[in-house]
A and B are shown apart, each in its own frame.
Chain A
Amino acid sequence: MIKAKNDMSHLDGQTTQNSGLAVIGKILVSMRAFIALFLLLGYFAIVNDSFLTQSNLVILTKQVAINAILGIGMTFVILTGGIDLSVGSIVGLAGMVAGALINEGLILEIFGIVIYFNVWIVIAITLIVGMFIGLVNGVIITRFNVAPFIATLGILYVARGLALLSANGATFPNLVGSVELGNTGFPELGAGSLLGLPYSVWIMVVLTILAVFIARKTPFGRQVYAIGGNERAAQLSGVRVKRVTLLTYVISGFCSAMVGLIIASQLVAAHPATGETFELNAIAAVVLGGTSLAGGRGTVFGTIIGAFVIGVLRNGMVLEGLSSFLQIIITGVVIILAVVIDQLQVRLQQRQ
């Protein structure tokens, strides 16, 4: 305790020695995602009259929710120093699972029967499938010592293939269910709203609160940071590295399946190609939010801000009618800038 106090006074001394500018610079750098978000909001509010309308802000948030929910799962994975490239494919597969269960039911050929489930059970099964695929990712990585990049890249292909195979490349249309089968109500998830905000936004809010709590207050959360900071040290201090790492992929699978459900419900159809390149958007949100790809440093809340930065940028560019090719370039530049600033921050911290 005394030692800590000493450290503090040492730091204080140094900051007073340094010019105030350096302190402000440091604060600015650490708040970069926030600042970028406000700059973007300000810019689009000025150049486009319809940007700050209530209806546009609602749909903007709805669009952000997709990326943010994926980003929450991805944050845990990246905090351990891993990566999950399979999230987009799991999104597609989850939609197909839900679509198949609603439109065709669970076909048990051995017994010659078809079971149709209530929508809540369909949602639960889909989430379990997502978590199972996350589990497979985790097992391949922790038990067979395959690098996360490779393992999840493999699952990216497998899950996408399964999604395409499930209906031979076709779409499960019109997921409204039927009254006789007692499985109506699926579109409500995507179309319904509470207090003027779509359910997907509420799901994002709940998952964010939950994830922030897990990351900050639970032993699991601290262990995730410990593994990312120094896996060997974490192991030696009694963290069950494999189990914790595996769990982060299960969380990511859960989040992906949730997004798959939301999208299938919004479209009232399950399309097997849904979610292609979503993994890159999710990683971009995480990185923009200041989480280090090397692991150990970052926050869930940062990821949410990152997702908003991407979402605001997209929405604003779409409203402006900017060429889609230019949109891609600008998104890329913003991501690189974010990482460059991130490196700057690391160097500033090391100097002190």
Chain B
Amino acid sequence: MKKSFDKILMADVLFLCVVGIVMVYSASAYMAMDLYQDEHFFLKREVLFALVGLGGMLVTANINYVHLRYLVYPLLAVCLVLMILVLIPGIGVKVGGAQRWLQIGGVKFQPSEMTKMGLILYMAHSLKRKEGKIKDFAYGFTPYVMILGVFFMLILLQPDLGTAVSLAAVVMLMLFMAGTRLRYLLSLVLLSIPLLYVLIMGEAYRRRRLSAFLDPWKDAAGAGFQIIQSFLAIGSGGLTGTGLAQGHQERLFLPEPHTDFIFAIIGEELGFFGAVVVVIAFAILFYRGMLISLRSVEPFGRYLALGLTGMVSIQALLNLGVVVGLLPTKGLTLPLVSYGGSSLLMTFIGVGILLNISKWTRAT
């Protein structure tokens, strides 16, 4: 038994968080000035979220993760209720055509962020209990697919395809690692292809995003605008970048420079070196998380660590893929770096749990 938590992971996470704060400021200052006449508007909030998140991380890092099993079902139920509530007009807050937020007092938060956590906890708990019977189709596969299906649809209704896809990916990853038959998973993937096709082709904006992904220069002023602006930002960064706050692209050329496309600003201002360092930091987060999972002494910790690591890493990889043009745009933030309270808080809480699990690992 180790007595202390994974310091490399914590340093890595804190590094990403600091990079995030600096870049959110650099990317948003001009826009904040434009929108709120206060260049620190987003910075102040991001720092506050980070402090709250750090607090959350410290709390979860010091609670023995095994106790979390008591939370599994209540949390899942709360998530379900909130996910339904958020869809009800008048309760859920709509921003830019998507109804993703609930407002309590002056605080807005995204129940889908909590849902990720809830579902991962449930999966970890359940997979532990079903160890050995996991290969059974009715017992070890169907219930998860149904629960995932429910939440997947609820998220899609917001709509939030990015989060839905990353949630599905993490559930599949956990099932695959737990030993579900590969053919079940593959058939699930194959079956979901028509569904995805309908989802994408049925929505004009998603269709445009896909065609913009395939050939962004075709409609540079329209659908391809965002991704081309991203390329231009990253490309003009070169090897060493333009320097902090020296980039031009965040000055309203690149939509959402401080959220979905913050990595493009990193590429522009910190250059190839800076961008690679950030990619490496995410890789380290992933490897350390996987190591914690591998070294965990018991299945709940193992699956929980896997799920939490998978969630952050999949989302990060999807976001990076979008920003550099490997994947079509779908509206995902870069965990720890992008501006956004709910995401930052839940990521920190997840990292806190990971850190706690890391205390209970065996040495290799």
Pair from one complex: no
A-side residues, CB < 8 A to B, are none
B-side residues, CB < 8 A to A, are none
